[in-house]
Amino acid sequence: MSEALLDRIRKLLAKAESTDNANEAEVFSAKAAQLIAEHRIDPTHVRDALEHGSLALRRIAVGRGAYVRARLALIDAVARNHDCEVVFETAGTGTTAVLAGYESDLDVTEVLYTSLHAQAASQMAGVRMRTPAATQRWRRSFLFGFANRVAEQLAAARATAAASAMTPSRSAARPGGPALPDVLDRSARVRAFAADSFGRVVAARAAAPAQRTGWRDGHRAAANIDLGRSRLGGRRALGRGGQ
């Protein structure tokens, strides 16, 4: 994705962040999501990626503690809607998500994840339950619900862009016609690259169940998110705890 388009997206979401009007924020955020989705389905962009783009790996540290699996769920929600494959590795220093994909998609995924994680942390920071353990369980569940709603929203934006691109009027106006075959080719190349790069992958144990109230609160909170922004200073982290 070009710096000019990234800058336009950041400006839209800076407006969403700065307004006190929830409806205005939603309009700005939705426009940013639409721009990303339409850019990724555009035939010129897709074919440029296939002909000139570079496949790469990107590592994103997710730390350690109670919220690791929920953070991974959020990364996965963003990555898979941008044709990136994800695995994770754990070492003494903590857990790292390893993403495979085209560099432009990796850039978008990292920007969105960083922003969304900060937004979730900001909303969670002021919530205190009766005990520290109960607070931790609620926050962990909140982030799982938040990630689920993010996946739904990004999938919807992607589907809308794809449907629009395939309509006869829009297809005729786009150089090269419909991009669907190339989009499928792009996804296939990423999967093959990921399989070769990741090597043997072992399935992780299932995450502990989420608490219903926290999950529902997180799912609801994600309905009014910004889908990316550049100003993340001053955000509180999610904290530590047992995995």
Residue type at 3? Answer: E
Q: What is the DSSP letter of 211?
A: P
pLDDT tens for 60-93 read 999 988 899 999 999 999 999 888 999 999 988 8
Mean pLDDT for back-to-back runs of 10 residues, the chain (243 residues): 70 68 67 70 58 86 91 93 91 92 87 80 83 90 90 82 62 48 76 91 74 80 59 38 36
The vertex-182 CA angle with 177 and 184, nearest 5°, equals 130
- Note if the pTM is more than 0.75: no
Q: Which helix (H) or strand (E) holds 170?
A: helix 168-173
Where are the chain's structural domains?
A: 3-224
Rounded Cα distance between 170 and 165, Å, is 6
